[in-house]
Chain A
Amino acid sequence: MIPSLEQLSVQFTRLIPLGAVAPSVPDSAAAAPAPTATPPPSPGPVQSVDYSLKGYHLDVTVSSGQVVLAAEILDQNGFGLDAITGVDWIAQNEMEVVYDYFHPLSPLRVVVRARVPRGHPELPTLSGVFPGANWHERETHDFFGIRFLGHPDLTPFLLPEDADYHPLRKDFSA
């Protein structure tokens, strides 16, 4: 079934109050001067986005515990998993996990984001909803060290089997 952008927005907005998403607050101002890399502030957790500028239609910010619910909403609407990746916002002491979704029968593109603290990056796994997430999460773990709880096999994937480093972290040095 091919959803419309409005239907999706409504479904997500119903989901968000289940776990309030605190907007991303930088650490205490005394910690550091203006961080070197800040994402632009988002006006709300579910927002439509200009496709011609960004390349996707809907931007949903959820808490780390809600990513599976968000994935289930998208699965029921017929979306497919495009990619899962991480971004290391070291200046804010957080990591962001970004989930891209595409729809085989419509042009809609949805992005779901979740933030986790950098010292303790844990999220539930999506492999129960989208089996393709298995490999994407393994790769994200390889590069960032983000742990996906419930993942069947979170061993090094792209890196050598005995690798204990996470190269895409901003404080990584070979």
Chain B
Amino acid sequence: MEASVDTSQIVKFAKLDDLLALSRANSLWPLTFGLACCAIEMMAAGGPRFDISRFGAEVFRPSPRQADVMIVAGTVNKKIAPAVKTLYDQMLEPKWVIAMGNCAISGGPFVFPGQYAVVEGVDQLFPVDVYIPGCPPRPEALIEGILALEQKLTGKRRWPVVKPPQ
């Protein structure tokens, strides 16, 4: 009688949905959609110190047809709102949106009584999955937002939440 071989390290059984979610979460391709200051922090997150490529997300695609996640980094104003909506519509399903920075969440510091140009939050245009506050948020915050999106996709968190030392 042959001894049974432990193949659990090489062959995994899982639901197809879970596998698809895992592969999507680990290779989120962002759309290069830097509008303003937050875009520089997004570039810094792609830089060598913060290195978003550890999470599979360094391939910024200029074309919405090739991107999974739209990171709205910066202020959306009324002139560009139709273009942003068009880009969102052009992205293929499944797609997600990360609102990075205070401007994308709620208009940011540019909201004042009598303001005429800023859309107060990109969620007025389309649904947002993850909100990352900050003005601008640090690259670590953007990475945390991507990890939160991964958790939303797979249900599991890849990295434990960092607890600051007491």
Contacts and interface: CB of A to CB of B under 8 A. Distances in A.
Direct contact of A and B (CB under 8 A): yes
A165 interface: yes
B8 interface: no
User: Which of A159, A161, A165 lies at the interface centre, i.e. has the most chain B CB atoms within 10 A of its CB?
Assistant: A159
Contact of A173 (B78, B79, B114, B117): B114
Which label, helix, strand, loop or mixed, suits the secondary structure of the A interface?
A: loop
B116 interface: yes
B115 interface: yes
**B interface: dominant SS:** loop
A160 interface: yes
Interface residues of B, number: 6
A160 B114 CA distance: 17
Interface string B106-119: 00000000111100
Contacts of B115: 174
A128 interface: no
Nearest to A165: B116
Interface residues of A, number: 8
A44 interface: no
A159 B77 CA distance: 10
A174 B117 CA distance: 9
A172 B116 CA distance: 10
Contacts of A173: 114
Contacts of B78: 160
Nearest to B112: A174
B73 to A, nearest CB: 21
Contacts of A174: 114-116
A93 to B, nearest CB: 22
A159 B79 contact: yes
Interface in B57-115: 78-79, 114-115
A167 interface: yes
Nearest to A173: B114
A169 to B, nearest CB: 12
Interface string A152-174: 00000001110001010000111
A160 B81 CA distance: 10
Given A159-B117, A165-B116, A172-B116, 11 more contacts: A159-B79, A160-B78, A160-B79, A161-B79, A167-B116, A167-B117, A172-B114, A173-B114, A174-B114, A174-B115, A174-B116
12 contacts: A159-B79, A159-B117, A160-B78, A160-B79, A161-B79, A167-B116, A167-B117, A172-B114, A172-B116, A173-B114, A174-B115, A174-B116
What 9 A-B pairs are tightest by C-beta distance, nearest first? A174-B116, A160-B79, A174-B114, A167-B116, A173-B114, A160-B78, A174-B115, A165-B116, A159-B79
